[in-house]
A and B are shown apart, each in its own frame.
Chain A
Amino acid sequence: MENFFKIILPQTLRLAIPNLSNVWQITLKDTSLISVTGLVEIMRQSYIAAGSTRDPLFFYSFAAVLYLLLTFVSMKLINRLEVKYSRGY
């Protein structure tokens, strides 16, 4: 048990983080699809706002900026993790 958590897992994590980060980014962007089912997230909210104010360009661009911000921040955090797990290599 200790062998797995202290030795095997840290080493696999180091190799898995870049790919996991890809999956994270893709899933993050796919959350926009939830708006189709009616859950009010970024996309749904901007859809409602664009509909009521008749200003779709602004609200969808704002949604795009929010997504960019999310991917940017998560990328920075994951990079930090990558550095942490590749210590000593």
Chain B
Amino acid sequence: MDLELMINSFPKLLSAAVITLKLLSVSLVIGLFIGLFFAILRLNKNIFINRFAYGYSYIFRGTPLLVQIFIIYFGLGQIEYLRSTVLWVILKEPYWCAIIAFALNTGAYTSEILRSAFQTIKPGIIEAGKSLGISNKVIFYKIQIPIAIRQSLPAYGNEIILMMKGTSLASTVTIMDLTGVAKYIISTTFKPIEVFIVAGGIYLFMTFIIHNVIKFLEKKYSFN
């Protein structure tokens, strides 16, 4: 064990962890909106809209995140037409490609989580709102969404932690996140165990924080 290397690589890995957190937070925010959008589509009575939303979540939940990143980063660059459009400004950057892949992936899982949360809302609550003369729109925004968010907190916390671990795949498309920097240090020192122990420790610490924040929120917004 090379303790000196572990201590020396710690600050470098810590600054790389900031990039990991950036990737995570940006893709989670975009993914939450995508998820909410598709969850609402899933509740739609129209069979085509319903099927479309189901197909989206099925494809993104049925294929590995690594494949999705590779298709977006390596695959989309192959289409000549795309290179000439404005989209290419975004798609040539590995950073944005990774964020698009993560957002679409987490959006699919989030839509599934939110959908089941919407479906577990007791109809009595909505009927109570209706009998008070509250409009359907207000019922949806002020009653259904808050309850659904509370209902889905535990599952969403899991999703955040899974996503955080998923961001390590960004290193495969040359992004210098926590795993990317760890790989780089290893390629110069040839000491994978020490560096990965430190990197793993940082991941573990982040999981610990996220887990506790979610637990705190669950307690704060509990029903009783």
Contacts and interface: CB of A to CB of B under 8 A. Distances in A.
| Secondary structure call for the A interface | helix
Interface stretch (A1-9, A55-63, A76-84): A55-63
Interface string A25-44: 10001111101100000010
Given A36-B172, A57-B79, A68 B74 contact: no
Nearest to A67: B63
Interface of B: 58-59, 61-68, 70-71, 74-79, 169, 172
Given A32-B67, A43-B67, A60 B62 contact: no
A20 interface: no
Decide if the interface of chain B is mainly helix, strand, loop or mixed.
helix
Contacts of B78: 54-57
A64 interface: yes
A45 interface: no
B74 A56 contact: yes
Contacts of A36: 172
Nearest to B169: A33
Contacts of B75: 56-57, 60-61
A68 B63 contact: yes
